[in-house]
Amino acid sequence: MKDKKSNSRRKFLSTGLKIGVATAAGGLAAAKILEEPPKKSEKIKVLTTDGTVIEVEKPANDCKINPCSPAKGIEARKGIPGRSFVMVIDLAKCKNARKCVEGCQKGHDLLPDQELMKVYLMKDNPESEPYWFPKNCFHCDNPPCVKVCPVGATFKRTDNVVLVDADRCIGCKFCISACPYSARILNWENKETYASNDPDYSPETQTPGQHGVVSKCDFCPDRAREGKLPYCASSCPMGAIYFGDKNEDTVTNGEETLRFKELIKERVGYRYLEELGTEPNVYYLPPVNRMFPYERGFSNLSEEKKEILLKSISKP
């Protein structure tokens, strides 16, 4: 009786093993077939300095990081290898032109009211002068939003970026309330361009958007792959927003490129609400030696809005 039992188990195990091997082999073969055929490299004609025309391989559209196309699915959770994205915002240069807000909205197909980049009017103490404070997601190293997500729809990548997978998000809004920086929004309204489970969707671009899920600033890693600055940094007329890589120790606003560590050290860069222990990756340079008086920022706001802002910074 006992013998029979163990025998049958052995049989079962060996069959299982065989099936397993067969499946693995089949899978490998399928993977081989599904592999893309090698791409034919495009040639372009170039004129050399001595006047002859030669053919060279066309560089794949200014691609700086391989793969160039935005990552999808599981790949989007890994992050671009070797990168450590960081942003520095020079508060002395901001005049509330709101071009960063608009650029971001255009790039991410947002509604006019939805702002992933917001510009606040801040006043640190009753004596100090108010200043404009552009604020996106800080892509914290210790993100409170990622901790509370029940389904892993929001995640932290190796390149510092915190993204949302709109295909997985259930819209519980816990991350919105957990974020101490009010960086997250929900797509309350439905929009014609929205589509669920779209094959073109990537958490790096967040397009096409979806109704009823959370959205946030994504640091535009899809643009970084192409060697471009995020929408906000590239559309700022004052060059107040620097974006770069901590590993390379450089940040750039498109015009000047600076050493990140030196910049933070010399200009006494700080992180907003450092005491919360969230370890943000967005640094601010204090609004000293300003280029404009803060009142200039009201020029594109109505009188009513101006009053709302001034009221909100006065102590209760």
Choices 11-19, 97-105, 114-122, 292-300; region in contact with other proteins by CB under 8 A: 114-122
Choices 51-59, 177-185, 217-225, 258-266; region in contact with other proteins by CB under 8 A: 177-185
Selected binder of other proteins within 65, 109, 174, 292 (CB under 8 A): 174
Whose Cβ is closer to other proteins: residue 27's or residue 152's?
152
Our finding on whether 195 is near other proteins (CB under 8 A) is no
Shortest approach of other proteins to residue 180 CB, angstroms? Answer: 4
Our finding on whether 275 is near other proteins (CB under 8 A) is no
Number of residues that bind other proteins (CB under 8 A): 49
Tokens encoding 254 = 């498109």
In contact, 187 and 207? CB cutoff 8 Å = no
Whose Cβ is closer to other proteins: residue 92's or residue 172's?
172
Look at strands 118-122 and 85-90 and give their pairing: unpaired
Q: Given CA atoms 307, 309, 315, 316 in this order, what sign does their dihedral have? A: positive
Choices 74-82, 210-218, 263-271, 287-295; region in contact with other proteins by CB under 8 A: 210-218
Our finding on whether 151 is near other proteins (CB under 8 A) is yes
Our finding on whether 313 is near other proteins (CB under 8 A) is yes
DSSP designation for 41: P
Q: CB count, 10 Å around CB of 237? A: 10
Which burial class, exposed, middle or buried, applies to 71 when counting CB atoms under 10 A from its CB (0-12, 13-18, 19+)? Answer: buried
Which burial class, exposed, middle or buried, applies to 67 when counting CB atoms under 10 A from its CB (0-12, 13-18, 19+)? Answer: exposed
- The b-or-e profile of 275-298 (16+ CB within 10 A means b, else e) is eeebebbbbbbebeebeeebeebe
Our finding on whether 186 is near other proteins (CB under 8 A) is yes
Choices 92-100, 142-150, 233-241, 259-267; region in contact with other proteins by CB under 8 A: 142-150
Choices 20-28, 33-41, 168-176, 280-288; region in contact with other proteins by CB under 8 A: 168-176
Whose Cβ is closer to other proteins: residue 180's or residue 239's?
180
Our finding on whether 111 is near other proteins (CB under 8 A) is no
Our finding on whether 285 is near other proteins (CB under 8 A) is no
Q: First-to-last CA distance in the chain?
A: 84
In angstroms, the CA 265 to CA 271 distance is 13
Our finding on whether 177 is near other proteins (CB under 8 A) is yes
Choices 28-36, 42-50, 80-88, 145-153; region in contact with other proteins by CB under 8 A: 145-153
In contact, 166 and 203? CB cutoff 8 Å = yes
In angstroms, the CA 132 to CA 96 distance is 6
In contact, 214 and 173? CB cutoff 8 Å = yes
Our finding on whether 270 is near other proteins (CB under 8 A) is no
The footprint of other proteins (CB under 8 A) covers 113, 118, 120-122, 135, 144, 147-153, 168-174, 176-178, 180-182, 184-190, 211-214, 273, 276, 278, 304-305, 308-309, 312-313, 315-316
